[in-house]
Structure 1
Amino acid sequence: MQLNKISKCLSLILVLLILVGCKSKKETTLLFVGSFTDKKPGEGIHVYEFNTETGEASFKFTLDSVTNTSFLKLSKNGKYLYSVMESQMPYHGKIGSFAVDSINGKIDLINIQDCGGLNPAHLEIDKTGRFLANSNYSDGSLSMFRINENGSLNPHSQVIKFKDSSIIKNRQEASHMHSSNFSPENNFLFAHDLGADKIRGFNFDITAQDSILQNENQIIMKPGSGPRHFTFHPNGKFGYSIAELSGKITAFNYIDGQLEFVEDYQSYQKQQDIYRAADIHISPEGHFLYASNRGPEEDSISIFSINLDDGRLNLIGHEPTYGNHPRNFAIDPSGKFLLVANQFTDNIVIFRRNIKTGKLTKLSQEIIVDKPSSLQMRKYSINL
């Protein structure tokens, strides 16, 4: 009889422990905002907690006394944040690595390295999380970094500089590397040269000591297009380039390191004399593609559905960004919201995204922050 009572008590204690354990976990989504700071030390990176039910954001942290932290990239595991620093300056910029404190919603500096060139514009991390690629816009170069286990960066192990040009003399007088993307299988890196109208493909060899990028293979884009950013489809079969100077999106088939042209699509709603197309992303479920258009006469997000059989796009419509110069935007991890950073009007506009139709509905709340230029979002599971 006594043993039965003890057994029941132990069972009750076990159930209580399980319940307490369940209650000690919390899920939170953090939003990291990188900003231009007018080329002087200022409030460069902001962190917010984002509510994936209401679309509301609550301020958590500001990193002050940094200069032009204009592009951010989270590590795959979310433990580390990397930022370009001192972009658009007349000397070499830098790359900073930060530890993410997901419990308190803040970041702590780990270390800083020279970026290997002028005006770092974009960061990309490979699928293993051990290598970081940096694109230097002003002197047309790519630099590669090894990432240590603690998230810190080693000095750059490889810098490749390019000499090239194209037909728009005030924008394409020289090579301008604007971004890069590792291939779905992580064997290749594709770098987008706005100044030369080329996508430069490289073999990516993680076993190499110094020359991690090898055997350049050039993909020639249409003259005057200015390839800027790129995204692979989650299925690994398609790729999409956004061209800043022509305002067009190019769809590709992707097969074993090769990009095969499919079709061009106009991203802007209206024809213009000057185009400034900027960013491009695909929704988490892979059904819709979005792109940002930065004036001079139209600030909008273009919305396309994706044919999953052949990768072709079908225009759904355009949504104004309710601000000027939407340099960067992000889709939250739940896929229910799309956030747009309007650099020239100091606001981040929040849209609720219809997962079935892809359409966007503006919410009343927005985030006010000086010159936002880059957004990163991630959901964290926190043990309390």
Structure 2
Amino acid sequence: MKNIIALIITVCSWISVYSQHTYVFFGSFNWDKNTEGIYVYELDTISGNLSKITSLKGIVNPSFLTMSPNGKYIFACTESKTENGGSVSSVEFNVKKKSLTIINSQKSGGENPVYLTVHRNGKWLINGNYTEGSVSVYPILNDGKIEPYTQNFQFSEGSINPDRQERAHIHSTVFSPDFKYIFMPDLGADKIRIYQFQDGKEKPLQKTETPFVQTVPGSGPRHLTFHPNGKFAYCIEEMGGTVSVYFYENGKLENIQRIATHSAKYKECFEGSDIHISPDGNFLYASNRGHENNIAIFSIQNNGILKTIGYQSVKGKHPRTFNIDPSGKFLITANTGTNEVVVFKRNPETGLLKKVGRKIKIKNVSNVQIGKY
């Protein structure tokens, strides 16, 4: 009897594992709503191959995507880099039908929306607008519809580089691990702006005792990520070609390291772009565009400090963003400059990457998000 029960448990576990699907969502600069803008592929978690499931027309330049906590809705920065434009859009992903359907759009509250994040309760959306440096906060209804923004913060001050930092440029909006704070790297002002997030209020963003952390002048902070243990934060600095490491506690960041994302032969013209940590918390990855077009690989020590492991070519140009699948087995890059997606398999012991599968062609691909269903 015990053997039969054990067999049933094993079979049920096997069915559960193999009934799961990993879907990969790609945003792009399509420049024309009559052409495909958002794409969905399924990831073969054995081979690393990608198979197209569906795509969506009807929206312009869905350059950055984020997913609702339940995976049912995809939110997109739309009309990015569009003169007098700028919007955020909601799209339903029907897993059974494998289809995408536009729900609605709202004005982004600024030109060139570049980043979106969703609260863990699925009821709030926060957007960062790059060009004039602003942030907008939207309620989300149960059916995935985005309401008009209830808050819009405009920032103005710049920093030392007159060509790139003439004014504020918000480049990402990232919740703290406990979702009580929101962090906003401002490339133009060399600041990581900080607000409290009070879920129960109609206007949830509230000022904090420490409104920002100053970064190195001319560094251009871009994207931020937190370690799975919640104790450390890591910010990639686009113009400095560096990652700054912070000790994190209760809405405050304390800098403990600043390390180059490039090898010694590169002295200038850095273009750092994206940053992610493996689910096991052992390795950090940072993408470089420009001359390098690679992923810098770091091991994470127990005290949060980074140690350089090596560099992996992205097999293309301009890796604007990349992401790691929930299992930690694969890293997928969106190489905007060569209109292609490349899949790498991660070595969980060394952190190193190896290209697998075949490249996928997507014109002006700009963003990649991954979910397990």
TM-score by length of 2: 0.93
State the TM-score, normalized to the length of structure 1.
0.90
Is the aligned partner of 1:351 residue 2:339?
no
- Pick from 274, 277, 281: which aligns with 2:276? 281
| Paired residues of 2:47 and 2:356 also in contact (CA < 8 A) | no
Of the two, which has the highest radius of gyration?
1
Conservation of the 8 A alpha-carbon contact between 1:39 and 1:86? no
1:306 correspondence with 2:280: no
Matched, 1:35 2:28: yes
Q: Is the 8 A contact 2:48 2:357 kept in 1?
A: no
User: After superposition, what is the alpha-carbon deviation per residue over 1:94-126, rounded to whole angstroms, capped at 9, x for unaligned?
Assistant: 111111112233211111111111100000112
CA 1:272 to 1:105, structure 2 compared with 1: closer, same or farther past 3 Å?
farther
Give distance in 2, aligned partners of 1:214 and 1:143.
15
| CA pair 24-137 structure 1, distance change in 2 beyond 3 A | closer
1:199 match: 192
In the alignment, which of 247, 256, 266 is matched to residue 253 of structure 1? 247
- Cα displacement string for residues 129-186 of structure 1 (whole angstroms, at most 9, x for unaligned residues): 2111100001110000111111111110000000101111111001000001111111
State the shift of 1:212 in Å.
2.8
Mapped to 2, the partners of 1:128 and 1:262 lie a distance apart of 32
Equivalent residue for 1:223, pick from 196, 217, 229: 217
Matched AA of 2:280 = E
Q: Report if aligned partners of 1:117, 1:141 keep a CA contact under 8 Å in 2.
A: yes
Alpha-carbon distance in 1 for matches of 2:256, 2:32:
41
* SS of match in other structure, 2:295: strand
Q: Distance in 1 between matches of 2:141 and 2:153?
A: 22
Shift of 1:26: 2.2
Distance 1:307 1:53 in 2: 29
C-alpha distance in structure 1 between counterparts of 2:16 and 2:237, whole Å: 48
Q: Which secondary structure does the structure 2 equivalent of 1:145 belong to? A: strand
Percent of aligned positions with the same letter in both sequences?
41
Question: Is residue 49–residue 356 contact of structure 2 (8 Å, CA) maintained in 1?
Answer: no
Describe the SS at the equivalent of 1:286: coil
Distance 1:38 1:108 in 2: 19
Contact in 1 for aligned 2:32/2:59 (Cα 8 Å): no
Question: What displacement does 1:211 show?
Answer: 5.1
Aligned to 1:46: 39
The one-letter amino acid of 1:133's match is I
Q: Give the distance between the partners of 1:154 and 1:212, measured in 2 at CA.
A: 16
Match of 1:80 in 2: 73
Task: Give the 3 Å change call, closer, same or farther, for CA 60–264 of structure 1 in structure 2.
Answer: same
Match of 1:341 in 2: 334
Q: Calculate the aligned-residue CA RMSD, in Å.
A: 1.8
Instruction: Give distance in 1, aligned partners of 2:311 and 2:16.
Output: 43
- Is the CA contact 2:136–2:153 (under 8 Å) kept in the aligned structure 1? yes
1:200 and 1:217 in contact (8 A); partners too: yes
Q: Deviations over 1:29-75 (max 9, x none)?
A: 11100001246653110111111111011111111232111000011
Match of 2:288 among 286, 293, 298: 293
For 1:229, the aligned partner's letter is: H
Aligned equivalents of 2:287, 2:345: Cα separation in 1: 16
Of 129, 134, 150, 1:136 maps to 129
What is the Cα deviation at residue 362 of structure 1? 1.0
Of residues 362-371 and 205-214 in structure 1, the stretch that sits farther from structure 2 once superposed is 205-214
The answer on whether the counterparts of 1:236 and 1:254 sit within 8 Å (CA) in structure 2 is yes
Structure 1: which 4+ aligned runs deviate by more than 3 Å? 22-25, 38-41
Q: Distance in 2 between matches of 1:24 and 1:164?
A: 51
Is the 8 Å Cα contact of residues 113 and 154 (structure 1) preserved in structure 2?
yes
SS in 1 for 2:337: helix
Alignment partner of 1:332 is 2:325: yes
Size of the alignment, in residue pairs? 361
Please tell me the residue identity of whatever aligns with 1:62. Answer: S
> Do 2:73 and 2:91's aligned partners in 1 also have CA atoms closer than 8 Å?
yes
- 1:58 and 2:73 equivalent? no
SS in structure 2 at match of 1:178:
coil
Alignment pair present for 1:115 and 2:126: no
Q: Distance in 2 between matches of 1:328 and 1:209?
A: 33
